[in-house]
């Protein structure tokens, strides 16, 4: 046993030495990939963590603590009516402006509350895939046909993939069904409308805080109006959240008022002192989240309030490290593309463009695999695809990437593996890739 341990240490020393010895620092491609990695990490930290992930952790905490297990089992449980469970799960993304990583804490929370594997997987896929903002943007920039195909494909994918996962693991689902058969839901602590108001207020804050800019040159219309006023709208729902904290969660109004004033003051200072318009909103959001955590952790009247923040922290501990690893690996291999910037990774972009032309089985499969492993933040897949299609990408592979990309990514896979295990994760990823490939072939042939 001791010899094996020493041998393992020796092997690791040799591996580290070999990597250091042969490090290709003279290679332009390697150095560019390193730059792409740091660029993607920096962009992810600035654009995604504070405005997307942190609110998502608190939303997941609401499901975990305030939404009763009986309510989750009613709509998503193994004994729930299949048509109801899959309908709710497959269209859930229309109200969630989330990407493949932001959906993870929400998926984890409903899975822990006893949701059936099929509906939970349908929810996991549909959350990012049928994002209403992304659907509209797809139709406007890539064409109405592509927008319709993406909408239909996303809903069908969610139902079919969830159903297949449920069939494959039917023994586990049967055991879960029997276990839930005798479950007696405890009485609701508060009316469902109050919990719903609290939940959807947080969801709307997430949606409007991440509302994307309109297409280039557009200065009119509802999309532009919302984008131009999104921080006022976000602030309004912040006040609604304050109401919810006082009258639903019963937190002292003095504490909530103090949190509101601190957030408002930080917003005024940030927007007046920070020249970078993208960084300014991060300050009041961080102050608001810190204040929310502080007042809920200090609350002694309602134990659930403290548990809410501790639950959000548990999700953060579970998900953030794996996401960080995934972002680093994705940036190094596939590069960083955002805000008009494109830095290639170790795998050249030209190779990808050349391999996804036409409508062959290979081009659709390749587009599905690349989409599955590449990271797309909410709405960024549309301009990326616009550039690829301009470089010769076929419309079939484009749809395949649209259906595989937003719902999967390497960081996403690492976290899912920690929630449902390696085997189920592999089956889920393979199903998404196969269905995206078939959909691309059909759409490309039309």
**94-129 pLDDT per residue, tens:** 665 566 666 777 777 777 767 777 888 888 888 777
What are the helix (H) ranges across 66-143? 69-76, 82-90, 103-112, 117-129, 132-141
- Whose tokens are 């497959």? That residue is 90
CA 370 to chain centre: 18
406 pLDDT higher than 90: no
Per-position b or e across 70-105, b if 16+ CB within 10 A of its CB: bbbbbbbbbbbeeeebbbbbbbbbbbbbbbbbbbbb
335 Cβ neighbours under 8 A, 6+ residues apart? 33, 36, 40, 342, 343, 344, 345, 347, 349
- Whose tokens are 């839901």? That residue is 185
Supply 383's token pair.
């301009």
Supply 359's token pair.
């409508």
Whole-number pLDDT of residue 333: 77
Q: Tens of pLDDT along 290-335?
A: 999 999 999 888 888 999 999 889 878 877 876 777 678 777 877 7
Higher-pLDDT residue of 149, 293: 293
DSSP per-residue letters across 334-361: H-EEETTEEE--SS-HHHHHHHT-TT-H
The model's pTM is 0.70
- Whose tokens are 């904290």? That residue is 245
Supply 174's token pair.
């049967």
Higher-pLDDT residue of 198, 328: 198
DSSP symbol at 400: H
Supply 220's token pair.
């009119």
Q: What percent of the chain has pLDDT over 90?
A: 17
């Amino acid at each position: 046993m001791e010899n094996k341990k020493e041998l393992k240490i020796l092997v690791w020393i040799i591996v580290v030495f070999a990597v250091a010895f042969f490090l290709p620092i003279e290679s332009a491609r390697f150095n560019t990939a390193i730059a792409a990695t740091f660029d993607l990490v920096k962009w992810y930290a600035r654009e995604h963590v504070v405005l997307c992930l942190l609110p998502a952790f608190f939303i997941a905490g609401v499901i975990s603590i305030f939404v009763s297990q009986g309510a989750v089992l009613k709509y998503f449980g193994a004994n729930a009516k299949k048509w109801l469970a899959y309908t709710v799960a497959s269209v859930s993304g229309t109200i969630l402006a989330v990407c493949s990583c932001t959906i993870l804490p929400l998926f984890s929370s409903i899975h822990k509350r006893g949701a059936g594997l099929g509906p939970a997987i349908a929810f996991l896929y549909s959350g990012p895939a049928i994002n209403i903002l992304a659907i509209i943007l797809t139709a406007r920039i890539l064409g109405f046909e592509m927008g319709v195909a993406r909408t239909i494909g996303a809903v069908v994918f969610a139902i079919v993939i969830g159903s297949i996962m449920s069939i494959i693991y039917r023994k586990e689902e049967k055991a879960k069904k029997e276990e839930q058969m005798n479950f007696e839901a405890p009485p609701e602590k508060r009316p469902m409308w109050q919990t719903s108001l609290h939940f959807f207020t947080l969801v709307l804050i997430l949606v409007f805080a991440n509302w994307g800019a309109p297409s280039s040159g557009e200065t009119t219309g509802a999309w532009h109006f919302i984008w131009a006023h999104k921080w006022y709208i976000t602030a309004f729902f912040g006040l609604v959240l304050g109401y919810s904290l006082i009258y639903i969660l019963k937190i002292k109004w003095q504490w909530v008022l103090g949190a509101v004033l601190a957030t408002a003051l930080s917003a005024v200072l940030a927007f007046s002192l920070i020249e970078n318009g993208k960084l300014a909103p991060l300050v009041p959001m961080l102050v608001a989240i810190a204040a929310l955590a502080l007042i809920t952790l200090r609350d002694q009247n309602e134990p659930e309030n403290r548990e809410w923040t501790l639950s959000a922290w548990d999700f953060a501990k579970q998900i953030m490290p794996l996401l960080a690893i995934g972002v680093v690996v994705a940036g190094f291999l596939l590069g960083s593309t955002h805000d008009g910037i494109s830095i290639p990774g170790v795998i050249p972009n030209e190779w990808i463009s050349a391999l996804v032309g036409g409508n062959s089985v290979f081009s659709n499969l390749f587009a599905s695999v690349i989409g599955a492993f590449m990271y797309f933040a909410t709405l960024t897949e549309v301009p990326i695809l616009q550039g690829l299609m301009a470089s010769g990408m076929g419309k079939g592979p484009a749809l395949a990437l649209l259906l595989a990309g937003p719902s999967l990514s390497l960081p996403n896979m690492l976290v899912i593996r920690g929630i449902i295990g390696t085997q189920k994760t592999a089956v889920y990823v393979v199903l998404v890739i196969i269905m995206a490939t078939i959909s691309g072939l059909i759409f490309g042939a039309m």
